[in-house]
Chains A and B, each alone.
Chain A
Amino acid sequence: MSALSHKMHSEPAVYVYEAPVRIWHWINASAILVLAVTGYFIGSPLPAQPGEASDNFLMGYIRFAHFAAAYVFLIGFLGRIYWAFVGNHHAREILAPPLLKASFWGGVWHEAKWYLFLAKEPRKYTGHNPLAALVMHIMFVWAAIFMIVTGLALYGEGEGFDSWQHALFSSWIIPLFGQSQDVHTYHHLVMWVIISFVIIHVYVAIREDIMSRQSIVSSMISGWRTFKDKGEVDKE
């Protein structure tokens, strides 16, 4: 027993995810949950409500929840970008992965082999492993930007021609896609990209927690990364 615990904590823990990143992570996850559920029901509404129109406001509440969560998501995302500038270097991993460095791609390749059961062991990283950073960069960061931009364009349509949302987004996004219906369609489609990301992400987080050589889920709660063995960390 004591030998085992000695083995698990043989390296000092590293503080990786600062409080703002952790708080943002969970707020962001909740906002996306609300956005995906309400968004789905905007596209395919619930069965018709009985009674007078004046006694009901179901679609109104669903849309309101979508827009409220959208602003939480948007402001959170901006805050997260700000933190990439002032936070530690791990705060930049998913926003600006070193896509031009060969060693980064080497790391991606090794992690891919690990997931394909071809590598015996994953490497150890204090921050995200390169494959995780890459997937988060594409399937989360860019998808989030896409949703914010198209979402604000749709929102500006309701707000009208003299709103800032219309001036900054709708006025050029809508013609860019062809027409409003197309923006709806792609806004809807990218929701499924994000849902696919979340499925993979949650699975991998739990799997790595069990199978990799470092702590995972608890790191996004406490911020500390602990290691389970003595191997070299951040070897590229």
Chain B
Amino acid sequence: MPVKETFYDVMRRQGITRRSFLKFCSLTAAAMGLSPAYAAKIADAMETKPRIPVLWLHGLECTCCSESFIRSGHPLAKDVILSMISLDYDDTIMAAAGHRAEAIVNETIEKYDGQFILACEGNPGLEQENTGGMSCIIAGRPYTEQLREAAKHAKAIISWGSCASWGCVQAAAPNPTGATPIHKVPGIADVPIIKVPGCPPISEVMTAVITYILTFERLPSLDRQGRPKMFYSQRIHDKCYRRPHFDAGQFVEHWDDEGARKGYCLYKMGCKGPTTYNACSTIRWNGGLSFPIQSGHPCIGCSEDGFWDKGGFYNRLTNIHQFGIEANADEIGMGAAGIVGGAVAAHAAVSALKRSQHKGDE
């Protein structure tokens, strides 16, 4: 077996300075909510531990996760990240193509059997297994096969983004292709699955997850739904800088109104911050530059299960489909209460009538 390179070796080879490297380590420690002392631990791990092999597969997806990943906030982090993965397999950004590329998959599986991380971007469309159709073909084979095969040999799976974690847009009703999140794919090997939802997930979150696994040689602790607790244990709303306006009852009522200019809370514009678990309001986007709410747009809940199917992004009360019509709780409830109220009034009228008749009988 060849001597395994460390991340640091790879980075140095790519011309990253030690200073940038250390900066990356402290930023990552901060993103993970660890004390500054851990920056040194991360640096040490990156210098001494063999690089974790990552096999990055793409199913039905839009590549926004990759786009996010290579735009990691720290200027040089993107190179770090690229060196983390490009040496193995990622059909979007690797240099190799065709048979050579496919050979890398087999090589990784053989060489690092049970040690590599299988990073899944996108998900398989399972409907074709029933209909005999063919789509999402990689090197002549359906993606589903490649996925099941690779999963058997992986140490763990990372479900990047809402596609792999929940299904996302391709699984939105009526889900014609049968797009299915990784953990629900029948026959997928029984390996730990880390969900990193978001459309896309924040790049710092993505890199931190890999860095954590390297540094501590274990998977980050997950919540019940399989998301790393350190990034998904709070809602956007819990750390939103517009929260004081929420508590004060100061809301944007219409686009471009006075409240919008003053930066009031976007709750009435349908903000899903109160129901969305993600790190946008703390880590933010594009190197901490901003995040949707900061630029005046409500959170659409992109890291939540089924966010496409909950009715309008700009409605606070979202739809219930079980009733066959698109209506929110107030519309259905008020309708029902109205019927009950009408029935009660009618019943009271008939009762009064009957009673007066009855009185006459006596």
B248 to A195, Cβ gap below 8 A?
no
- The docked-state distance in angstroms from the alpha carbon of A199 to that of B320 is 24
CB distance from B57 to the nearest CB of A (A): 26
Closest to B334 in A: A192
Nearest A residue (CB) for B345: A203
- Tell me how far the C-beta of B346 lies from the nearest C-beta in chain A, rounded to whole angstroms: 11
B253 & A115 in contact (Cβ 8 Å cutoff): no
Contacting residues, chain B, for A62 (C-beta < 8 A): 249
Complex Cα distance, B317 from A185, in Å, reads: 7
A43 touching B275 by the CB < 8 A rule?
A: no
With the chains together, A175 CA to B305 CA distance in Å?
9
Q: Which residue of B lies closest to A41 (CB)?
A: B249
Q: Within residues 325 to 349 of chain B, which ones have a CB less than 8 A from any CB in chain A? A: 328-330, 332-334, 336-337, 340-341, 344, 347-348
Q: Which residues of B contact A180 (CB under 8 A)?
A: 235, 274-277, 304
Contact yes or no, B337 A192, CB < 8 A:
yes
Q: Judging by beta carbons under 8 Å apart, are A56 and B233 in contact?
A: no
Are B330 and A188 neighbours in the complex by a CB distance under 8 Å? Answer: yes
In the complex, which residue of chain A has the Cβ closest to the Cβ of B264?
A48
Complex contact A189–B332 (CB within 8 A): yes
Of the listed residues B238, B247, B347, the one surrounded by the most CB atoms of chain A closer than 10 A to its CB is: B247
With A160-B234, A181-B310, A203-B348 known as contacts, the answer to whether A53 contacts B337 (CB < 8 A) is no
Q: Contacts A48-B264, A211-B355: A199 and B247 contacting too (C-beta < 8 A)?
A: no
B249 lies within 8 A of A58 (CB): yes
Chain B minimum-CB-distance residue to A189: B329
Q: Closest Cβ of chain B: how far from A180's Cβ, in Å?
A: 4
Q: Is B130 an interface residue (CB 8 A)?
A: no
- Return chain B residues, CB-CB under 8 Å to A207: 347-348, 351
Please, which residues of chain A bring their CB within 8 A of the CB of B354?
Answer: 117
The answer to the question of A90 belonging to the interface, with a C-beta cut-off of 8 Å to chain B, is: no
Binary CB contact string for chain B from 31 to 64 against chain A (1 if under 8 A, 0 otherwise): 0000000000000000000000000000000000
What's the tally of chain A residues with a CB closer than 8 Å to chain B? 46
* A203, B246: Cβ atoms closer than 8 Å: no
B330→A45 contact, CB < 8 A? no
Q: Does B350 contact A (CB under 8 A)?
A: yes
Q: Are B264 and A199 in contact (CB under 8 A)?
A: no
Interface size on B, residues (CB 8 A): 54
0 or 1 for each of B237-276: is its CB under 8 Å from A? (1 = yes): 0100000111111111100000100001001100010111
> In the bound complex, what is the Cα–Cα distance between A105 and B33 (angstroms)?
60
Q: Are A189 and B249 in contact, CB atoms less than 8 angstroms apart?
A: no
Q: Tell me the nearest residue of chain B to A185, going by C-beta.
A: B329
Instruction: Among A48, A157, A193, point to the contact of B250 (Cβ < 8 A).
Output: A48
CA distance A184 to B272 in the complex (A): 11
B318 within 8 A of A: yes
Residues of A188-234 whose CB lies within 8 A of B: 188-189, 191-193, 195-196, 199-200, 203, 207, 210-211
Residue A44 at the chain B interface, CB threshold 8 Å: yes
Inter-chain contacts of A49 with B (CB < 8 A): 248-250
Residue A5 is within 8 A (CB to CB) of chain B in the complex: no
Residues of chain B within 8 A of A2, CB atoms compared: none
B200-250 with Cβ < 8 A to chain A: 223-225, 229, 233-235, 238, 244-250
Q: Give the complex CA separation of A188 and B319 in angstroms.
A: 12
CB-based contact A192/B238 at 8 Å: no
| A178 and B337 within 8 A (CB) | no
Interface mask (A35-55 → B, CB under 8 Å = 1, otherwise 0): 000000001111111000111
Residues of A at under 8 Å CB distance from B? 43-49, 53-60, 62, 115, 117, 157-158, 160-161, 171-172, 175, 178-182, 184-186, 188-189, 191-193, 195-196, 199-200, 203, 207, 210-211
24 contacts between A and B (CB under 8 A): A47-B253, A53-B244, A53-B247, A58-B249, A115-B347, A157-B235, A160-B233, A171-B224, A175-B224, A178-B306, A179-B275, A179-B301, A179-B304, A179-B307, A180-B277, A181-B272, A181-B275, A185-B318, A188-B329, A188-B330, A193-B333, A199-B344, A200-B340, A203-B348
Besides the contacts A54-B244, A117-B351, A195-B337, what 7 more A-B pairs have beta carbons closer than 8 Å?
A56-B250, A58-B249, A172-B224, A180-B304, A189-B332, A196-B336, A203-B344
Closest 3 CB pairs of A and B: A192-B333, A58-B249, A56-B248
Binding site for A on B (CB under 8 A): 223-225, 229, 233-235, 238, 244-253, 259, 264, 267-268, 272, 274-277, 301, 304-307, 310, 316-318, 320, 328-330, 332-334, 336-337, 340-341, 344, 347-348, 350-351, 354-355
